[in-house]
Amino acid sequence: MASLTKHSKYYYKDGNITIKAGTVLFKVHISLLEEISEFFAGLFSNAEPGPAGEGTEEAPLLLPEVSAETFELILQYRYDALSVNLRYVAKDALVDFLRATTRLQCLSIHRVVANYVHETFSLADKLDVGLGHCGLDDWASSAFPELIYDSTSETPVVFHTPHSAVCWAAIYKARVSIQRLRTCNLASLLGEYGGKPGCGKKSLCVPHTIALWRWSESCASRESFMKELEPLRAQCAVCQECEVVPAAAIFKELLSWDDPGTEKVVRAAWDSVPIPRIV
């Protein structure tokens, strides 16, 4: 068994509760813990530390699944709030911090850290946070469709939760399904207006036809999807190689699309991930 050490700072002589996190002992003040944690407030309302219970130097209160480093950060927020700078806290440590403040019900601290993480983490990281029992489950359902539409986001090197790999498999599968759906719709439309690539007279010139195919393979959201179409339509309108009337008809049809089927693909992909759902 690893020997226990007293924390160099948060082990006060006048502390009235001794807590063990990892292999480190903290001796702090019940009243201050109750201020920041609903978990501790409920715990201490039912029992006081003493010879018959945990919380003494001889029988410290154990915090399972909370590291000494994370508990130190929690205490730092109460005892030395002005010294906390989340910019110097590693990404994995921030996730552990969120998880611990969720478990210990440190609501005000959790809110501050969550706001910082939301501003600084990537979409892929937010997906991990949402899946990681950090009290932010809705982040996963929000990041998931964005990651499908943002085809530039790549799979993380390391998966931090058991569900991350399953989520990413569903994301890539949905991207492919959306690309196929849009390509089929465009092929049908180009065929209807005599613009099928490689077949006789085209309503669009080769460069613009290729550009349109590339556009159809984008996994962008509907808003950005349609926004990207506008400059291409403007180019075709003044292109001497494109046939103006059929080209205009094509773009009229495209701009009236409600991006058929893509939302259904996204919903089906999310429903396929076996994770607990918020009711």
Per residue of the chain (279 residues), give pLDDT as tens: 468 899 999 999 999 899 999 999 999 999 999 999 999 999 888 766 555 567 888 889 999 889 999 999 999 999 988 788 999 999 889 999 999 999 999 999 999 999 999 999 998 899 989 988 888 989 999 999 999 988 777 777 666 677 888 899 999 999 999 888 888 888 877 777 654 444 445 578 888 888 888 888 777 887 888 888 888 888 888 888 887 777 777 887 777 776 668 888 999 999 998 876 544
* Upper half-sphere CA count for residue 260 (Cβ side, 13 Å): 11
* pLDDT value at residue 253: 77
What is the fold of 5-87? Potassium Channel Kv1.1; Chain A (3.30.710)
* pLDDT value at residue 45: 82
Domain ranges of the chain: 5-87, 145-279
CA distances in angstroms from 13 to 7, 143, 144, 267, listed in the order given: 12, 47, 49, 57
Contact between 259 and 233 under an 8 Å Cβ cutoff? The reply is no
Contact between 242 and 208 under an 8 Å Cβ cutoff? The reply is yes
**173 is written with which tokens?**
């599968």
Specify the 3-state DSSP secondary structure of 11. Answer: strand
